[in-house]
Chains A and B, each alone.
Chain A
Amino acid sequence: MPLLDIRNVKKEYRKGDKSVTALSGVNLAIEKGEFLSIVGPSGSGKSTLLNIVGCLDTPTSGSVLYNGRELGGLSEQQLSDYRRDNIAFIFQSYNLIPVLTVRENVELPLVIERKYSKAEMAQKALAVIESVGLGGMADRLPKELSGGQEQRVAIARALVKDPLVVLADEPTANLDSTTAEDVISIMQRMNTERATTFVFSTHDLRMERHAKRIITLRDGAIEKDERRQ
């Protein structure tokens, strides 16, 4: 059974009087531990697909199954719980909470999860901060970090709760090439070491190069599904 099973998902938006089709019947099965890249030109539906997989958005029709469980029809509260327990996000512009330190930002998903003690949260956060190469920066605020460091914090924040799936929307778009390579290698390492499933949208050829599977979207439909060894 695939970890994520996307069946004939369609998404339409209203734009004034017009109806815009963002996804037109996407079928996609994602297995546990995949390092999957979604590519395609702007407006091809990459972000919409990621949002639907991450339960940030709901499809107009079709279904999304997580470990065989249908996610359609879940209430707002249940979707929040689903995201909290299973999915982590990495955003293009990092989106760290500016008033929280690096450690507090990384602890945030654990705080929302409410499963750990304060000491356990601090221990887990510091370990993952160390693993992304930011040891010694735990007490800094986001404004004291470079863009690359901020994205590492975002990765640490995504990984701290050991999610089964990490969804990343253009995670290297705002980074210089050296920093982007660093970020990619961290994600790869986490994928290998923890068997975390990574699904990321990208325009970045370097990212594409490292992907084990590349889904190419065009006009809201899958044009190509390539697997690499």
Chain B
Amino acid sequence: MGMIIKIAFRNIGRHKRRTVLSALTIAAGLIVFICMDSMLTGVDRMSIDNLINLSSGALKIQTADYDKDKESFPLNLTLDSSLAPLAAALAQNKRVSHVTRRTQFLGQLSNYDETVPVVGTVVDPAADTLVFGLKPYLTGSYFGADNSREIIIGRQLAQDLGVGVGDNITLYALTKYDSRNADVFKIVGVLSTADPGINHSGVFMTFAAANDFLDLENSTTELDVAVARTGSLPAFSAETRDIQKHLQADFPSLRVNSFLDLGAGVMELTHAKRMSGFIIMGIILVIAVVGIFNTVFMSVYERIREIGVLRAHGMKPQEISAMFVLEGVITGLLGSVLGCVLGSLLNLLLVTKGIPMEKVAGSIATASYGIAGNVYGEWNVAATVVVFVLGIAVATVAGILPARRASKIPVTEALRFN
């Protein structure tokens, strides 16, 4: 075996350019995959974090009837009768870190020239910041102590209506008792988030304001729950699912949705992104297979006489085959090591510096992914190990066919070959 390894190594060294080219093809596949996986994982994390932070919380609890009719944001399907037992159940669960209540409604915002449909969200200003993370995206200020005439609106909405922080604007809506109401509110803050829904049609007000404006009487249509986040996203997802399952069992008349249900679209997009990553890597690895197949085949072709000599001296066909397969394996190993090292170095930049996605992909693309600002890569050691092994496996497979061909050449033909 020692001599076979020696011959294989030296032959690889003899055709440096060809070997380097094949190894680089594999390395390129691995680099693309490592960086792509890192960025996709980063985008996924950011999308899901934004989903939880901006709109869904870890869990969202509504009545089952509300859930069925949620597109119309009915103000009469409230949680009020279940709030006390729900609060008690959630307080007992140590994994639940914070709870807040919200009520959503449909309305229209008008500057007298233009009227834009909006989705209003009534919040408990103190508790809301513990479950949702809107404040970092806010220009202006959050709700003050006297907030009964204050609203916060989305950036795009403000731009569409030509208003900003400090301006007054009229809000129209149906009250809880289906009577029309209009009132003037002062814009205290403008939100620029990664959630296009908030940016384009989001209006936030406090219960103090809504009690008066919507005749709300502190009615709550949803309870939003924050779950303490420890460990990886899959672990967090599993934990959230577990709490969801128990709550749903305890309160069958309610509908408990997790961020996984509410972000089904994001999850589908995540899956699609992963698939596209695998497809791209697959294409590059197919190119690598062809490259290595060609390299080993050329090597076989150039050394047919050598194969004849070795066979004449009694080397067995499988040993000849092993020698050429080994050349494929060594090339694959070189490519995999190179790919993992260069891929990891490049990923270090992605993890520490990130990519300004809006500049790279445009604001529409980033909005559809629910992301904003710099997107940072993530380390995925398991994926790196898998592609390292895959790189070698691909090279081995690519080497097998020409190696088998080499072992089957009749000795007399091989010795006559010029």
Contact = CB atoms under 8 A, between A and B. Distances in A.
B359 interface: no
B315 A112 contact: yes
B291 to A, nearest CB: 22
A80 B316 contact: yes
B412 A56 contact: yes
A111 B7 contact: no
A100 B316 contact: no
Contacts of A97: 7, 306, 309-310
Task: Say which size band chain A's interface belongs to.
Answer: 20 to 34
B314 A99 contact: no
A51 interface: yes
Greatest chain A CB density within 10 A among B10, B309, B311, B316 is at B309
Interface residues of B, number: 24
Given A95-B415, A111-B2, A100 B312 contact: no
B210 to A, nearest CB: 83
Give chain B's interface secondary structure class. helix
Given A56-B415, A95-B306, A95-B308, A108 B313 contact: yes
A76 B317 CA distance: 8
A178 interface: no
Contacts of B11: 99
Contacts of B310: 97, 108, 112
A19 interface: no
A91 interface: yes
B305 A95 contact: yes
Contact of A89 (B2, B312, B410): B312
A93 B316 CA distance: 23
B14 interface: yes
Interface string A72-110: 000011001111110011010101011110001001110
Candidate in B13, B311, B317 with the most chain A CB atoms within 10 angstroms: B311
B6 interface: yes
Contacts of A99: 7, 10-11, 13-14
B305 to A, nearest CB: 6
Given A81-B314, A112-B314, A91 B412 contact: no
A100 B8 CA distance: 11
Contacts of B305: 93, 95
B6 A104 contact: yes
Contact of B309 (A80, A91, A113): A91
B3 interface: yes
A85 B6 CA distance: 23
B411 interface: yes
A193 to B, nearest CB: 22
Contact of A109 (B6, B13, B314, B415): B314
Contacts of B311: 80
B3 A111 contact: yes
B110 to A, nearest CB: 84
A37 B13 CA distance: 41
Q: Which 10 A-B pairs have the closest CB atoms?
A: A84-B314, A99-B10, A111-B3, A95-B309, A83-B314, A56-B411, A89-B312, A57-B412, A112-B314, A109-B313
29 contacts: A51-B412, A56-B411, A80-B311, A80-B314, A80-B316, A80-B317, A83-B312, A84-B314, A85-B314, A91-B309, A91-B415, A93-B305, A95-B306, A95-B309, A95-B415, A97-B7, A97-B309, A99-B7, A99-B11, A99-B13, A100-B6, A100-B7, A104-B3, A108-B3, A108-B310, A109-B314, A111-B2, A112-B310, A112-B315
Interface of A: 51, 54, 56-57, 76-77, 80-85, 88-89, 91, 93, 95, 97-100, 104, 107-109, 111-113
Given A57-B410, A89-B313, 18 more contacts: A51-B412, A54-B312, A56-B412, A80-B316, A81-B314, A88-B313, A91-B309, A91-B415, A95-B306, A95-B308, A97-B306, A97-B309, A100-B6, A108-B3, A108-B310, A108-B313, A111-B3, A112-B3
Interface of B: 2-3, 6-7, 10-11, 13-14, 305-306, 308-317, 410-412, 415
